[in-house]
Structure 1
Amino acid sequence: MSIEKFMRNAVTGWMASHGEHSDIVMSTRIRLARNLTGYHFPIVFTEKEAMAIDRAVSGVLLDSGQNGYSYLKMSDMPVLERQVFVEKHLISPQLTEPDRHGAVILSEDEMVSVMVNEEDHIRIQCIYPGLQFEEAYKQANLVDDYLEKSLPYAFDEDFGYLTSCPSNTGTGMRASVMMHLPALAITKQIDRIIPAISRLGMVVRGSYGEGSEASGNVFQVSNQTTLGKTEKEILVDLGNITARLIGHERKSREVLLAKSRIVLENRIFRSLGTIVYARLLPSGEAARCLSDVRLGIDLGIIKDIDMSILNELMIFMQPGFLQQFAGTELSEEERDIFRAKLFRERLDVETASSSTEKETEE
């Protein structure tokens, strides 16, 4: 498969677009957890109940005529395809478990996904590029309201929306931003900032959520609890913390440029050279190099490469995508080879595109 065709099939909405502060905020996500009355929660429900919930939720959305929804049942999907969906942040790893009876309903641009029979009966998720809390929340709310018109939600006047995990009870909403914070990592300031954010009731994790590392200096920041606050209050609190993080990151970038420009440029161009010429590229090194190159693009040190390319490569470097691109199962060393090949070919396409645009302008 050519890299151009692979990209067309693989790129999802939030990767290819730009939003506010997209040099630092890669994406914004709103997730709503909901359950239906009359059924046990997923932790103890029967297969018959799971199938009934699946039919009810998919029936409502697929008949809506909105968003060009498509339906995918986990048990019908190859293991590799499920892994790719996790890597694209479209579904959670938990949904792929064989005894989960899970399914996902996806919008045409893949910016809206509704997981069925995950930890809760329904998980509505909207991912937007850059910093777009209001837009992502508005879309999630539209889907939620549409479902609630036809389906009986489990709701308590005192506790709010009832969920499998007590920490989600209340609004049932998790808001999060995925942020690229290389300057704070390079200057070690991130080590003191993360505990401070935690004390404010927020959680900082790696890009794939709980248990994941902040590979490539990409951090996910989200609200910790949903009970006792309105959706608006949660969004305001997280918005304020996000704004402060953006400010700290921008200041750290300015300091690095002012005090260590040559050292910084050397680091950035070495990483670019690795991406362009490497024949073996382990995942850790790839993530570090992508972070450096993205920083170089954001600071104007590297020209003619769009930062959305780095968003794509952060996802494409994952094991599932590499094996999908290769068309076969790969060992760890083979993945390192294909990762380097994919990076080279993707940047070749971008360079060729930039050259054509310049010639056209001239």
Structure 2
Amino acid sequence: MTSIEKFLQNAVTPWMGSRGEHSDIVLSTRIRLARNLAGHRFPLDFSREEAEDVERQAAAVLTGEDNSFSCIPMDSMPALKRQVLVEKHLISPQLADPERPGTVILSDDESISIMINEEDHIRIQVIYPGLHLMEAYEQADELDDRLEAKLPYAFDGDFGYITSCPTNTGTGLRASVMLHLPALSMTNNMGRIAQAVSRLGMVVRGSYGEGSDALGNVYQVSNQITLGKSERDILKDLLDLTERLIEQEERARRALLERTSVKLEDRIWRSYGILSNARVLATDEAATRLSDVRLGIDLGIIEGVDVSVLNELMIFMQPAFLQQFAGETLQPGERDVFRAKLIRERIGMERGMEDKTEE
């Protein structure tokens, strides 16, 4: 087993390699529920003793009789490993802050991550591959019921669940889908779409949420309204919007194939060649090239490469992952060299496997 294979064996989150519904466009579905305990100040204004009490109560419910969860205090984890969890979308940058007394409770397959003492006392997060809003919500709701049966939630009959930020009050539900929209990006439609989405009470952000860029044409679409609508209505509205975006992306892909097929194929194969041979790759270029190749796989232009490899590489090319693999701190220029090496060798592994299959 090569060093890359060993690294991937330990680093890959199991759900990343799964194929869900509409997985050629929808990378993942995420459900997040924000909850707080009655009688405790919010995390932005409480003491370490209060933080430890919240952690103890939540951990007792989830890990007491269930060994499929691990409780990991942030202050026991090196900064690099905390950042890796951010890059894997398992915790927020806020929870990774070493000045804050936070904890994450993770399921073995990392499809469930429960952030303790982030902006709210408890943030339940469930991630599914592809488009599975209802399934992800039902699992999050089951965990929520399990916690609420043992813990005194802060709840108001008129306003619903009380949260640190008023924009989460009500259901406390933030549902999102991660979409790969290269054709809509290539045809310069994303600005128009983002404006239209905002009028529907939804928001389009980059792959790492508010303030982040849409690396590799990956966008996160989520609800903005949590008060005045039921959970089911929020999920239905997001599902309807997602299905419309899928249809628009599929139309844009067909149009590109019909009108500029040679240019499109040339772009895709050039990106494949660069990823297979480059010695230096910055984050933005790597993300763009990976997006092109993923589109090529989804359109049947490139064969013999599993799309899950592209999913992995979009995560593994991030700074913390690169340094974890290298086993040392890397300066930006060194990361660009190491990123190119990792991507080159990973794609080479896929090519090698294809050659063996053909033999």
Match for residue 175 of structure 1?
A: 175
Which residue of 2 is the match for residue 232 of structure 1? 232
Once the 2 structures are TM-superposed, how far is the Cα of residue 278 of structure 1 from its aligned partner?
0.1
Partner of 1:37: 38
Q: How do residues 76-225 of structure 1 correspond to structure 2 at under 5 angstroms? A: 76-225=76-225
Q: CA deviation at 1:352?
A: 2.4
Q: How many residues align?
A: 358
1:354 Cα deviation from its structure 2 partner: 2.8
Listed one character per residue, the Cα deviations across residues 224-246 of structure 1 (whole Å, up to 9, x for unaligned) are: 02000010000000000000000
Q: 2:285 aligned with 1:285, yes or no?
A: yes
- 2:36 partner letter: N
Match of 1:344 in 2: 344
Query: Which range moves more in the overlay, 142-151 or 295-304?
Result: 142-151
Structure 2: 5+ residue stretches without partners: none
CA distance in 1, matches of 2:96, 2:102: 7
Is the contact between residue 14 and residue 129 of structure 1 (CA under 8 Å) also seen in structure 2?
Answer: yes
Q: SS at the partner of 1:221?
A: strand
Partner Cα separation in structure 1 for residue 139 and residue 28 of structure 2: 15
Change in CA separation of 1:143 and 1:357 when aligned onto 2, cut-off 3 Å? farther
Q: 1:311-347 CA deviation, whole Å, 9 max, x = no partner?
A: 1000001000000010000011100011001001111
Q: For the residues of structure 2 that align with 1:239 and 1:262, how far apart are their CA atoms?
A: 34
Q: Is the 8 A contact 1:14 1:27 kept in 2?
A: no
Q: Distance in 1 between matches of 2:220 and 2:357?
A: 35
Shift of 1:261: 0.2
Q: Which structure 1 residue ranges, 5 or more long, are not aligned?
A: none
Q: CA deviation at 1:356?
A: 3.3
* Residue in 2 that maps onto 1:270: 270
Code of the aligned partner of 1:212: S
In 1, Cα distance between equivalents of 2:14 and 2:131: 14
For the pair 1:60 / 2:58, whether they are aligned, the reply is no
2:307 aligned with 1:307: yes
Q: Calculate the aligned-residue CA RMSD, in Å.
A: 1.0
C-alpha separation in 2, matches of 1:13 and 1:171? 29
TM-aligned CA deviation for residue 351 of structure 1: 2.0
**Identity percentage of aligned residues:** 62
Inter-partner Cα distance in structure 2 for 1:177 and 1:137: 12
Report how far residue 358 of structure 1 moved: 4.0
1:8 correspondence with 2:45: no
Instruction: Tell me which amino acid in the other structure corresponds to 2:207.
Output: S
1:64–1:234 CA distance, 2 compared to 1 (3 A): farther
Q: Name the CA distance, whole Å, in 1 between partners of 2:216 and 2:200.
A: 25
2:61 aligned counterpart, secondary structure = helix
* Cα distance in structure 1, aligned partners of 2:122 and 2:356: 46
Alignment deviations for residues 101-123 of structure 1 (CA, whole Å, 9 cap, x no partner): 00000000000000000000000
Q: Which amino acid aligns with 1:19?
A: G
CA distance in 2 between partners of 1:41 and 1:116 (Å): 11
Q: Deviations over 1:56-98 (max 9, x none)?
A: 11111111326x1111110000000000000000000000112
Q: 1:64/1:228 Cα in 2 relative to 1: closer, same or farther (>3 Å)?
A: farther
Q: Kindly provide the amino acid, as one letter, of the partner of residue 264 in structure 1.
A: L
SS at match of 1:178: strand
Once the two structures are TM-superposed, the CA of residue 193 in structure 1 deviates from its matched residue by: 1.0
User: What SS does structure 1 have at the residue aligned with 2:43?
Assistant: coil
- Alpha-carbon distance in structure 2 between the residues aligned to 1:85 and 1:39: 27
Code of the aligned partner of 2:337? I
Q: Distance in 1 between matches of 2:127 and 2:172?
A: 17
- Indicate the SS of the match to 1:43: helix
1:19 paired residue number: 20
